[in-house]
């Protein structure tokens, strides 16, 4: 008798980036950055804005200071965060296509999910509050990470808090900076680009969108990655 092959196993956890991966908030960040630079008499191009995608907020603040913003770094971070939170409260979190459905399906399959973001905790909590309860077991935010992405710290901190081996998790990221952080932490990484190309970023797989993706796709990716390592 022939037996049906077993379905690929699911990872122990899925670690989600937030801005640009779960929610398309990059539009809000870019608008806030541009308005701030212009307030100090400067100009802020779309190309300049793209260099901030995925960066830690302190790094972004330093770049904005170089563009002429005469404010302390922490003041820039607080101002931008407040502006983006105002947009989120007015318009709601703009979920990326397929993100909510994949998140719900993973939770239904008892896969633990964590949010690993360089945004401040208060903003991450605002986004999570707009999702079904229990969507994320853990948030590691920009104020929690010992070093920002592209350092691996935030992902390693998430794995330690969950008590899981990084190699037994999957990360979903939209930026080269985020991909480098997850890969450096030893986490198999799916790139789902939004504003910036992920070609050559080191992502283990590239998905143009999360739309129609299911836990089975996550399992197939993770199993194939694990098999290639062995």
pLDDT digits (tens, 9 = 90+) for 188-212: 999 999 989 999 999 999 999 999 9
- How much of the chain, in percent, has pLDDT values that exceed 90? 85
Pairing of strands 138-140, 112-116: parallel
Q: Which class does domain 13-24+94-229 fall in?
A: alpha beta
Instruction: Answer yes or no: is pLDDT of 55 > 90.
Output: no
Domain 26-91 in CATH: superfamily? Answer: Putative phosphatase; domain 2 (1.10.150.240)
- How much of the chain, in percent, has pLDDT values that exceed 70? 97
pLDDT at 57: 87
Instruction: Answer yes or no: is pLDDT of 1 > 80.
Output: no
User: For 137-159, how does the pLDDT look when each residue is reduced to its tens digit (9 = 90+)?
Assistant: 999 999 999 999 999 999 999 99
Compare 125 and 92 and report the one with higher pLDDT.
125
pLDDT at 230: 64
Domain ranges of the chain: 13-24+94-229, 26-91
User: Is 19 labeled as catalytic in the residue annotation?
Assistant: yes
Q: Catalytic residue, from 17, 24, 153, 174: name it.
A: 17
pLDDT at 101: 97
Compare 226 and 17 and report the one with higher pLDDT.
17
pLDDT at 211: 97
Pairing of strands 13-16, 112-116: parallel
pLDDT at 183: 98
pLDDT at 195: 87
Task: Tell me the pLDDT band of 92, cut-offs 50, 70 and 90.
Answer: confident
User: For 157-196, how does the pLDDT look when each residue is reduced to its tens digit (9 = 90+)?
Assistant: 999 999 999 999 999 999 999 999 999 999 999 999 998 9
Q: Which two tokens stand for residue 117?
A: 């973001």
pLDDT at 2: 47
User: Is 165 labeled as catalytic in the residue annotation?
Assistant: no
Q: Catalytic residue, from 12, 19, 153, 204: name it.
A: 19
Average pLDDT, the chain: 93
């Amino acid at each position: 008798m022939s037996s049906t092959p077993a379905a690929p196993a699911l990872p122990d956890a899925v670690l989600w980036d937030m801005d640009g991966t779960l929610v398309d908030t990059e539009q809000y960040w870019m608008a806030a950055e541009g308005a701030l630079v212009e307030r100090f008499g400067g100009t802020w191009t779309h190309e300049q804005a793209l260099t901030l995608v995925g960066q830690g907020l302190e790094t972004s603040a330093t770049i904005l200071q170089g563009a002429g913003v005469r404010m302390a770094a922490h003041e820039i971070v607080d101002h931008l965060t407040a502006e983006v939170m105002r947009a989120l409260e007015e318009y709601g979190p703009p979920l990326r296509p397929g993100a909510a459905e994949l998140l719900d399906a993973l939770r239904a399959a008892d896969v633990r999910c964590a949010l690993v973001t360089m945004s401040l905790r208060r903003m991450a909590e605002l986004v999570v509050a707009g999702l079904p309860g229990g969507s994320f077991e853990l948030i590691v935010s920009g104020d929690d990470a010992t070093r920002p992405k592209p350092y691996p710290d935030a992902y390693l901190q998430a794995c330690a808090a969950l008590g899981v081996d990084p190699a037994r998790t999957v990360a979903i990221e939209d930026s080269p900076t985020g991909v480098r952080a997850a890969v450096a932490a030893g986490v198999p990484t799916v790139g789902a680009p939004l504003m910036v190309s992920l070609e050559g970023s080191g992502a283990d797989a590239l998905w143009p969108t999360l739309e129609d993706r299911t836990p089975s796709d996550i399992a197939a990716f993770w199993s194939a990655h694990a098999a290639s390592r062995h």
